[in-house]
């Protein structure tokens, strides 16, 4: 097998692995971003509930 043909065969085998790894990295980054934004949302919801509780206390007093 000539060297040029061998290199082309190797490149064809490596491309799907690189695409697969890139795809996995994109999915992982998306999951991390989703988790971080969910934490921020829960934190904001906790602040909202706290402010409603404080407002209710002031209204009662």
Q: What is the pTM of this model?
A: 0.43
List the chain domain ranges.
36-61
Residue linked to tokens 């509930």:
49
At 37-60, the pLDDT tens digits run 776 777 888 888 888 889 888 888
pLDDT the model gives residue 7:
60
Ramachandran quadrant class, 47 (left: phi over 0; alpha: psi -120 to 50; beta: rest): alpha
pLDDT of residue 24: 86
What confidence tens digit (pLDDT) does each residue in 1-42 have?
A: 455 566 665 555 555 557 788 888 899 998 888 877 776 777
């Amino acid at each position: 097998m000539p060297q040029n043909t061998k290199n082309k065969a190797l490149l064809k085998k490596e491309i799907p692995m690189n695409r697969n790894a890139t795809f996995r990295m994109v999915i992982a980054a998306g999951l991390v971003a989703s988790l971080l934004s969910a934490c921020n949302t829960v934190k904001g919801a906790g602040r909202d509930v706290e402010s409603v509780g404080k407002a209710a206390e002031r209204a009662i007093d």
